Amino acid sequence: MKIPLLPVLLALAVGALRAAAPVPPPPVPPAAAPAPDSAEDRRARELVARPAFQAAVRAYDRDFERFVRELILLTEIPAPPFGEKARGEAFARLLREAGLTDVTTDAEGNVIGRRPGRPGGSAPLLALAAHLDTVFPADTDVRVKRSGTRLIAPGVGDDTRGLALLLALVRALGAAGIETPGDLLIIGNVGEEGPGDLRGMRYLFQRGPWQGRIPRFISIDGSNNDLITNGALGSLRYRVTFKGPGGHSWGAFGQVNPAFALAGAISALGRVVVPRQPKVSYNVGLVSGGTSVNSIPFEVAMEVDLRSVSPEELRKVDARFKEIIEAAVAEENAARATTFGRITAEVKLIGDRPSGTTSPETPELRQVAATMRAFDKVAVWNISSTDSNLPISLGLPAFTISSQSARRGGRSHSLDEWTDVEQPTAVQDFSLALAIILGVAELP
């Protein structure tokens, strides 16, 4: 996952405001702000004060070297999109070592460990997921370098740290004897990054044995735990291939040329006006084709990315984009001779991430906001593309949290990606994640 700059700046600004001189309490609290003494706030404070909760945090602290060891071990197993198998097997083995007996791998490659809830407990199941895949090709050097408390390696933060956190969580719950009222599903899933196109989540929620059986979902991903990603940034991605008869640049001059059709389409797309709120974006990210400077190409192609958090706006820009392609083809076929054949365009969908929002007013997110207040933090609602996109688009109260605090990791999707494992901060971050997870798991 990538963190958009704006929420980060907002979070910094909020932090700066809170650190400034004491602000007199407002005479009347704004109606929209939940009272700090809501039922959710009391529940959050009670949860973190509980001896078993404290014991789980202490267990993580004692177990910290193992957390770091497993983070390094998993990072050093390459896991490119569609090549997650070896890392998945290691994760399954570590889940068993952490104490789960019911660990399976589904047909898509998702590793799923079930931690049974309290006998007779009736709360709905909660699924927790981190993604196995990274953006890096199989031959990338993934050996972890250490610099002080920093671990540096491709994928170490996104999202291997999420996987290591899940393992540590299972052990800490076991050590503290915590039983949740409903089952927990601990998932290392495939296919979050680009070409994976959420295939792990699609299988989990729409085809596999757990289809229809996961009412609540939290993804652990990203590198700033001030942000709660409840907005699913949807995208549609296409490869558009324009084809024609080709020919000699001099001898066949006057015949249709797919490069002109492609250029017409790009130019028309660039003039489309889209709303800023809800934000819509479009991009032509890659253009290719042709064989030589003195040939009319018989094939040229482009890759296009359309995005919005609003399903409605995404549909609109998608429809406009398809009209543009058709018009550009027709225009070229009308502009030049078609003696040897006409221009055609093939529009192939290469990415489809659904959009939507989990309302901050759902019981789950009201509880999350209260839990953050108990840690003296303000939840910053965020929009991004994560594994939660899929369950959010199905109307489930799904969201994504981060395993670490802001500025404790960075450069994700780059070869010098890093994550910080300074122990006291990591223990605080674990404590917050544990409280958020248990707070939601205990909701009726």
Residue numbers at the binding site for Zn ion (CB under 5 A): 1, 158-159, 221
Positive or negative, the CA dihedral 323, 326, 330, 335 is: positive
- Closest distance of CB 358 from Zn ion, Å: 18
Over the range 132-170, which residues count as b (16 or more CB within 10 Å of their CB) and which as e?
bbbbbeeeeebebeeeeebbbbbbbbbbbbbbbbbbbbb
**Which residue's entry shows tokens 């109260």?**
397
- Closest distance of CB 221 from Zn ion, Å: 4
Q: Which is nearer to Zn ion, 393 or 403 (CB)?
A: 403
Q: Which is nearer to Zn ion, 5 or 21 (CB)?
A: 5
Q: Which is nearer to Zn ion, 79 or 324 (CB)?
A: 79
How many angstroms from the chain centroid is the CA of residue 293? 42
- Closest distance of CB 159 from Zn ion, Å: 4
Tell whether omega for the bond before 34 is within 30 degrees of 0, i.e. cis: no
- By C-alpha distance, which of 209, 189, 238, 187 is closest to 81? 189
- Closest distance of CB 128 from Zn ion, Å: 14
β-pair type (126-131, 184-189): parallel
Q: Which is nearer to Zn ion, 41 or 192 (CB)?
A: 192
- Helices assigned H by DSSP within 124-257: 162-175, 199-206
- Closest distance of CB 348 from Zn ion, Å: 25
- Helices assigned H by DSSP within 162-257: 162-175, 199-206
Q: Which is nearer to Zn ion, 113 or 409 (CB)?
A: 409
Q: Please, which residues bridge with residue 128 across strands? A: 186, 218
- Closest distance of CB 2 from Zn ion, Å: 8
- Closest distance of CB 407 from Zn ion, Å: 18
- Closest distance of CB 417 from Zn ion, Å: 11
Q: Which is nearer to Zn ion, 332 or 417 (CB)?
A: 417
Q: Which is nearer to Zn ion, 159 or 364 (CB)?
A: 159
For the range 271-280, what are the long-range contacts, defined as Cβ-Cβ under 8 Å and sequence gap of 24 or more? 272/317, 272/320, 272/321, 272/324, 274/313, 274/317, 275/313, 278/308, 278/309, 278/310, 278/313, 279/308, 279/309, 280/306, 280/307, 280/308, 280/310, 280/313, 280/314, 280/316, 280/317
- Closest distance of CB 63 from Zn ion, Å: 24
How many angstroms separate the CA atoms of 292 and 175, rounded? 67
Q: Confirm if 325 and 265 have CB atoms less than 8 A apart.
A: yes
What tokens appear for 327 in the block? 């018009």
Q: Which is nearer to Zn ion, 2 or 207 (CB)?
A: 2
- 3-class DSSP assignment, residue 235: strand
- Closest distance of CB 369 from Zn ion, Å: 23
What tokens appear for 269 in the block? 């797309």
How many angstroms separate the CA atoms of 122 and 113, rounded? 19
- 3-class DSSP assignment, residue 299: strand
Q: Which is nearer to Zn ion, 1 or 164 (CB)?
A: 1
Q: Which is nearer to Zn ion, 180 or 386 (CB)?
A: 386
